[in-house]
Structure 1
Amino acid sequence: MDLLLHSQFTIRNSQLSITGSKSETNRLLLLQALYPNITLANTSNSDDSEVMQKALIGNEEVIDIHHAGTAMRFLTAYFAVNEGREVVLTGSARMQERPIKILVEALEQLGAQISYEKEVGYPPIRIKGQKITASKVTMAANVSSQYISALLLIAPKLENGLELTLEGEITSVPYIKMTLALLNDLNIQTSFEGNSIKVYPKQEVETKIMTVESDWSSASYFFSLVALSQDSSIALTSYKESSLQGDSALVAIYKQMGVETIFEGNKITLIKQPNFIPQTLNLELNNTPDIAQTIVVTCLGLGIGCCLTGLHTLKIKETDRLEALRIEMTKLGASISVTNDSLTLESSSKINSNIKIATYNDHRMAMAFAPLALKVPIIIENAEVVSKSYPDFWEDLKGLGFKISEK
C-alpha cells in the first residue's frame, strides 16, 4: 500500500496517546517469562512485541520472528537457558542477513548449545536449552546493545548470576542502563562500573505490576512535525521526565530546531517557538541511533545542514539505514554523503515534490519521511510497514489533519 501525504496546516491543542515503548515492553516480556508473577501494563501494540509475546508463550519448535531484531536477540538468550527445550529461531530474508554470531559466541562461553542451520554467524539458529552454571563472559563493547541486554535479562536466573566484561568503547549506554533499571525495579541487584557489569542471581521476585512508559522513538515524528510547522503544539502521553529511554534526548536535540518541550504530569507538550532560526546541527548519536532518520529529514525540511556521527549500528538494522537515507534523500534533491558510521547533509532550501520514498521493509523510513508532507506532497511506499512499531501512526496523522490517500 502506497500513501500520498500532503498538508499545510497548523496543529493546535491536539493530544495523542502513544503506545508503550517497544524497547521496554520486549525486555519486560522476557522478564515476565522468567518471573510469571509480574503483571505488565501499557505494553506496546507493535508487531515486534506481539511476535515476542507469541514466541514466549507458544510451544512451536520453529519460531519465525519475521523482521523483529530485538526478538531475535532476546529470544536467543532466553531459549539458551530454557532447560530441556529445543527450538529453531528464524526470520525474514533480511533477518537472515543480520549478524547474531557475537551473541551466540558469548552464550557459548557460558555453556550454551547453539548451531547454525544455514550460514555461520546468521539466523536461522538451533538452540538446545541448557542449565548454565558459568558466570563470566567477555564480548566487544561496540556491538548492538541488544546483544548485551539479552545477556543481562537472563542473568538473574543463572545459578551464579553474570559478570560481563565489555572490551572497548560501549555503544548505546542508555539501553543498557534501561535493562539494568528494569532489573533493579524487581529488586535484582546489579552493578555497572567502567566496562564491567554484574547481575546477581535471584530465583524469585515479588508480585508486581510494571507499567511501560510510552515510546520516545515514536514521539520523534511529532517533534519533527512541530519543528517543520509554522506555529503548532501537540500534547503526547504517557511520558516521564526521568525516562529510562535514551531517545528522550529528543527534548534537547529538538530545542536546537525550535521545539520547546513542557512536562506536566505524564504528559509532554511540544510547542514551536516563534521566529526561531535553526542552525547547522552537529550531533553524536552513539547513544540514540534510532532517531537519526527523523533528525536528518527534519533538517532537510528546515533547509539546514547536519553532521551526524556514531551511526555504525544503523547498517545492520531492518535495512542499511545509512545507504537507504542517502538514496531517498537524494531523490528529494538533497546533497548528502554517508560513511560507515556518519551522515552529512548540506543545507538547501530545495525539496522535490511528489517523490516516492522507498521504505525497505523499515518502519522508521516510512515514519521519518512523513512529516515532510508539511512542506511538499510526498508518497510513502509500503506504508503498512509502520505496524512493526507504531500500528496507529497513519490514523494518528489523519487525526491531526493530514490528507492521506492511497496512491
Structure 2
Amino acid sequence: MKLLLQSALSEINAAIKITGSKSETNRLLLLKAMFPNITLANTSNSDDSEVMGAALATNNQQPTTSNQIIDIHHAGTAMRFLTAYFAVNAGREVVLTGSSRMQERPIKILVEALEQLGAVITYEKEVGYPPIRIKGQKITASKVKLAANVSSQYISALLLVASKLENGLELTLEGEITSIPYIKMTLALLNDLNIQTSFEGNVITVAPKPAVETKEMVVESDWSSASYYYSIAALADVASITISSYKENSLQGDSALVNLYKAMGVESSFNGNQLTLTKQANFNYQDVTFDLNNTPDIAQTIVVTCLGLGIGCHLTGLHTLKIKETDRLEALRIELTKLGANISVTNDSLTLVATKKINPNVAIATYNDHRMAMAFAPLALRVPIYIENAEVVSKSYPDFWEDLKSLGFQISEI
C-alpha cells in the first residue's frame, strides 16, 4: 500500500488515545506466561505483541511437542524474550524462527549467555542467527556475564525469566551499559510483582520467586508512538495536541522526548494521565546535539523533525540501529538524501546539515520498518510526501494512519 500524505493545515488542535506500550506489553505477556494469575489491561494491539502472545499461547496447546516451529516474523523483541523463555521451560523443545530479515539479526550473544547457565540451544542454519532449536532445561546455575553495550533486549530477556530459575540470577555487565532505561523498566515491572531485584554498579541480581500474588498490571501508552506527535507539534504552524494515557514519571526511556523536543520548540504539560504538546510561538531554533544511547528508537523521528524545521542535528549513541528491522542509519541516509538533505552517518552517529529546501513528492521507502513510515509522515506538514508499504505501521501502531486523518492530514491510497 502506497500513500500520498498532504496537509494544508496551519493549526492542529486534537486529542488522541494511543495504545499501550509495546515494550511494556511484551515484557508483561512473558511474565503472565510464567505467572498466569496476573491480569493485563491496556495492552498494545501491535503486530509484535500479537505475535508474542500467540507464541506464548502455544504452551496451552502443545506443551510437550518436540520440534514445534514458532515463527515470530519481524518481531525482534519476541525473538529475544522467547529465546530465554523457552530455554528455561523444562521439557519443551521448539524451533524459533522469523522473517528473512530476522534470520539476519544476531542472536549469538544471548544464546551464549543462556549457555553459560546450562541452556541447550543449537543453530538450524547459520551459526549466530535464527532459526534456533531450543531444548528447555531446568536451570540451576545463577551467574552469567554479558557485554554491557549489547541490545538491552538481551539483558531484559535474561532478567524476565530470572525469578523462575531455581537460584535466581546474578548478571554481570562488562563495559559501558547501553539503554539503561529499558533495563530499569524490566526491573520495575518485576518489583511491581514483589520480585526482589538489585542493580548496583554493573551487577544486576534477581531473586527466585516461584509464585506471585494475583494482580492487574495496567500498561502505559507507548512513548515511542508519542514521538510522532511531538514531531507534528514541532512542524505545525500552531499546535496543541493531547495524547493519553501517559505518566509523568514513566518507566519508558523514550519519555526523554519531553526534554529533547523542548529544544525544538515543543512544551509538554501533564494533567492526570493526559499529556498536552504545545508549539511555542516565536521559538529561536538552533542546531541540536543529542546523545541517544538510552533512546535510539526515536532517532528517526528527531532527524526528520530537524529537516522539517530547517535546522541541523548531530545524533550519537546509535550503534544498535544497524541491527534493527533494517540498517536504520543507512536507510535514513538514503531516504533523507532523496529529500535533498545533506546527511552523513557512521556506525553509531548521524549528522544532518541545516537546509531550508525540501524536495516535494518524494516516495519514501520503508524497508519493512514501521518507524521509517511513521517518522517521515509528519513531514507532510511541509511538503507532499509518499510513503511506500505504509501497512508496515501495524508492527507497533496499527491505528496510525487513521489517527493522522483525525488530526486533519489528507491521506490517499495510490
User: Please, what TM-score do these two structures have when normalized by structure 1?
Assistant: 0.99
User: Aligned partners of 1:356, 1:397: CA distance in 2, in Å?
Assistant: 18
Q: Percent identity, aligned pairs only? A: 80
| Correspondent of 2:179 among 172, 179, 185 | 172
Q: Do the aligned partners of 1:334 and 1:345 also contact (CA within 8 Å) in 2?
A: yes
Residue 320 of structure 2: aligned partner: 313
User: Aligned partners of 1:10, 1:165: CA distance in 2, in Å?
Assistant: 52
Residue 355 of structure 2: aligned partner: 348
User: Aligned partners of 1:258, 1:286: CA distance in 2, in Å?
Assistant: 22
Residue 122 of structure 2: aligned partner: 115
Q: Which runs of 5+ in 2 are unaligned?
A: 63-67
Residue 25 of structure 2: aligned partner: 25
Q: Can you list the C-alpha shifts for 1:51-72, whole angstroms capped at 9, x where unaligned?
A: 0000001146100000000000
Is residue 2:188 matched to residue 1:181? yes
User: Aligned partners of 1:44, 1:232: CA distance in 2, in Å?
Assistant: 27
Q: Do the aligned partners of 1:90 and 1:124 also contact (CA within 8 Å) in 2?
A: yes
By how many angstroms is 1:13 displaced?
A: 3.4
Residue 65 of structure 2: aligned partner: none
Residue 110 of structure 2: aligned partner: 103
Give 3-state SS (helix, strand or coil) of 1:353's partner: coil
Number of residue-to-residue matches in the alignment: 407
Q: Do the aligned partners of 1:137 and 1:165 also contact (CA within 8 Å) in 2?
A: yes
By how many angstroms is 1:11 displaced?
A: 4.2
Q: Which runs of 5+ in 1 are unaligned?
A: none
User: Aligned partners of 1:277, 1:358: CA distance in 2, in Å?
Assistant: 32
Is residue 2:386 matched to residue 1:379? yes
Q: Do the aligned partners of 2:12 and 2:236 also contact (CA within 8 Å) in 1?
A: no
Residue 343 of structure 2: aligned partner: 336
User: Aligned partners of 1:213, 1:289: CA distance in 2, in Å?
Assistant: 20
User: Aligned partners of 1:118, 1:12: CA distance in 2, in Å?
Assistant: 51
Q: What is the CA RMSD across the aligned residues, in angstroms?
A: 0.6
User: Which one-letter code corresponds to 1:133 in the other structure?
Assistant: T
By how many angstroms is 1:390 displaced?
A: 0.1
User: Aligned partners of 1:155, 1:10: CA distance in 2, in Å?
Assistant: 52
User: Aligned partners of 1:364, 1:177: CA distance in 2, in Å?
Assistant: 23
Residue 45 of structure 1: aligned partner: 45
Give 3-state SS (helix, strand or coil) of 2:238's partner: coil
Q: Do the aligned partners of 2:405 and 2:411 also contact (CA within 8 Å) in 1?
A: yes
Q: Do the aligned partners of 1:11 and 1:234 also contact (CA within 8 Å) in 2?
A: no
Is residue 2:294 matched to residue 1:287? yes
| Correspondent of 1:357 among 345, 351, 364 | 364
User: Aligned partners of 1:278, 1:236: CA distance in 2, in Å?
Assistant: 24
User: Aligned partners of 1:279, 1:67: CA distance in 2, in Å?
Assistant: 37
User: Aligned partners of 1:199, 1:10: CA distance in 2, in Å?
Assistant: 52
Residue 76 of structure 1: aligned partner: 83
Q: Do the aligned partners of 1:9 and 1:374 also contact (CA within 8 Å) in 2?
A: yes
Q: Can you list the C-alpha shifts for 1:104-158, whole angstroms capped at 9, x where unaligned?
A: 0000000000000000000000000000000000010000000000000000000
User: Aligned partners of 1:122, 1:260: CA distance in 2, in Å?
Assistant: 43
User: Aligned partners of 1:55, 1:117: CA distance in 2, in Å?
Assistant: 19
User: Which one-letter code corresponds to 1:53 in the other structure?
Assistant: G
The equivalences for 1:47-66 within 5 A come to 47-58=47-58, 59=61, 61-66=68-73
The structure-2 alpha-carbon separation of the partners of 1:104 and 1:33, relative to structure 1 and needing over 3 Å to count, comes to same
Q: Do the aligned partners of 1:48 and 1:68 also contact (CA within 8 Å) in 2?
A: yes
User: Aligned partners of 2:98, 2:121: CA distance in 1, in Å?
Assistant: 16
Moved over 2 A (4+): 10-13
By how many angstroms is 1:278 displaced?
A: 1.4
Residue 227 of structure 1: aligned partner: 234
Q: Can you list the C-alpha shifts for 1:147-185, whole angstroms capped at 9, x where unaligned?
A: 000000000000000000000000000000000000000
User: Aligned partners of 1:251, 1:242: CA distance in 2, in Å?
Assistant: 11
Residue 238 of structure 1: aligned partner: 245
Is residue 2:41 matched to residue 1:34? no
Is residue 2:261 matched to residue 1:260? no
